């Protein structure tokens, strides 16, 4: 049986791991938002190469998925494609906002719900177009894990609305 100090240490490690996860997902969303603002596609840092989705890439993916999606998903997707001039900026602002919220821990619960909604929307369009793979489920699952997590360090903890109770081991 673990004593209180071991439980506290385990909880601290778990919160640290969740903070790393939140930061990583924030970087993904923020950099993809920047790629849409500045219209770049590839970032190379030494031997590491990262491919991001700019607005043109996102339009191509949306158009392809919408064209092969059935019924309502087709109609909804074509509405997005037809009005891409508006939706490209909504997508860009959403990715930047979600990314910053997760990176800074500011309005993080809203950022996590927004990220979950955006990833589920992407999943629905790819599922409807029959082009999805199991790895498309990774991001929604990560957001569910973050939403279930206890309060994590960030700017929210300094604001009145961000003070969620921290889970502590019960005394035995």
CB-based contacts of 170, cutoff 8 Å, min separation 6? none
Q: Which of 137, 143, 39 is nearest to 88 (CA)?
A: 39
Stretch among 63-67, 71-75, 133-137 having the lowest mean pLDDT: 133-137
Q: What is the mean pLDDT of residues 33-60?
A: 92
Q: What is the pTM of this model?
A: 0.83
Each domain of the chain, given as residue ranges in start order, spans 9-160
What is the pLDDT, as a whole number, of residue 6? 82
Summarize pLDDT for 98-153 with one digit per residue, the tens. 999 999 999 988 999 999 999 988 888 777 666 666 667 788 888 999 988 878 88
Do 169 and 150 contact (CB within 8 A), yes or no?
no
Element (H, E) at 45: strand 42-45
Inform me whether the pLDDT recorded for 45 exceeds 80.
Answer: yes
pLDDT at 68: 83
Dihedral of the CA atoms 96, 99, 100, 106 (nearest 10)?
Answer: 130
Number of other CB atoms surrounding residue 143 within 10 Å: 24
pLDDT band with cut points at 50, 70 and 90 for residue 168: low
């Amino acid at each position: 049986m673990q004593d209180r100090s071991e439980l506290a240490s385990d909880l601290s490690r778990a919160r640290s791991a969740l903070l790393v996860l939140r930061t990583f997902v924030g970087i993904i969303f923020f950099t993809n938002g920047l790629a849409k603002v500045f219209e770049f596609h590839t970032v190379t840092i030494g031997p590491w190469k990262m491919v991001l989705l700019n607005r043109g890439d996102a339009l191509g993916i949306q158009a392809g998925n919408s064209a092969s999606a059935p019924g309502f998903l087709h109609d909804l997707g074509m509405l997005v494609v037809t009005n891409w001039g508006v939706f490209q900026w909504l997508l860009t602002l959403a990715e930047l906002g979600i990314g910053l919220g997760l990176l800074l821990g500011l309005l993080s619960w809203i950022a996590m719900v927004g990220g979950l909604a955006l990833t589920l929307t992407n999943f629905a369009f790819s599922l409807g177009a029959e082009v999805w793979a199991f790895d498309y489920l990774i991001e929604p699952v990560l957001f569910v894990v973050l939403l279930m997590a206890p309060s994590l360090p960030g700017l929210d903890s300094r604001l009145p609305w961000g003070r969620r109770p921290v889970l502590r081991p019960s005394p035995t």
